Copies of this chain bind each other. A is one copy, B any other.
């Protein structure tokens, strides 16, 4: 299978600690990199991850809280110093361009590449990005200001051609792509060879959902139903459920309820409050509701 990995650059919440950076992740999908959120220090963590800066062309910002965006200006500045020329696309709720343009104009004078802001509404789920390999959908969340998670849906790869069968039926090379994408083949004698005799299906496309920051919102369940991997914030444990509600965050149990009810493959929890010196209790709590739960940690790399 082609590479589809999530690198956790930071999984703390608003107050940085000596153990956690603020929110940032990078998806590596077939060697294309997609960043989600960009808290302070994201570029330092990206450097540590050994991922190639030049492979990162798209950044998705869930919402305009500092711990999700304060690393952007440093990252853009560094891209400039590295002589980047490729366009950088930044997707976010409304307002980011207005806030960051004056900074870029001042601190990133004569940037050798274009930064293109794409602002989305958090009112309903929409596709905000699509290429040959992936679709990115927003997942409207419930936080103190407009906020969306992101669903990365891999596109189905073409089927594998059975070369021996293709030779047997004298399929010309000009037909290969059609057949890989599902077409049947008609021989010179007019015989129709069904596609399944000529190909081996490619693997089922995978999907990853990122949900942070948010209160417990069951309405997202249909959007993320059956994803292979779900990152869901779990800022608090159940003892702090009142605080979670008040601050529009989730508890570990609530994250696990979403995972269970959406039939996801695995759950990673993160965005931990600075109050926990050790997040094992949050893990234990979540696993009581959804067994296949992992704790996020800095520089974690996980296959989707």
* Interface residue ranges, A against B (CB under 8 Å): 14-18, 21-22, 40-41, 43-44, 47-48, 64-67, 69-71, 73-74, 77-78, 81-82, 95, 99, 102-103, 106-108
Q: A40-B41, A40-B44, A44-B21 are contacts. A16–B78 as well, Cβ < 8 Å?
A: yes
| Shortest Cβ distance from residue A29 to the other chain B in the assembled complex, whole angstroms | 24
| Chain B minimum-CB-distance residue to A69 | B107
| Shortest Cβ distance from residue A53 to the other chain B in the assembled complex, whole angstroms | 11
Q: A40-B41, A66-B73, A74-B70 are contacts. A47–B17 as well, Cβ < 8 Å?
A: yes
- Write out the residue numbers on chain B whose beta carbons fall within 8 Å of the beta carbon of A78: 15-16
Q: How far is the CA of A129 from the CA of B14 in the complex (A)?
A: 32
- Write out the residue numbers on chain B whose beta carbons fall within 8 Å of the beta carbon of A77: 14, 66-67, 70
Contact A40 B99 (CB under 8 A): no
- Write out the residue numbers on chain B whose beta carbons fall within 8 Å of the beta carbon of A64: 106-107
Contact A99 B106 (CB under 8 A): yes
Contact B16 A47 (CB under 8 A): yes
- Write out the residue numbers on chain B whose beta carbons fall within 8 Å of the beta carbon of A22: 74
Q: How far is the CA of A78 from the CA of B16 in the complex (A)?
A: 8
Q: A64-B107, A66-B107, A99-B102 are in contact. List 7 more A-B contacts (CB 8 A).
A: A16-B43, A18-B47, A22-B74, A40-B74, A41-B41, A67-B77, A102-B102
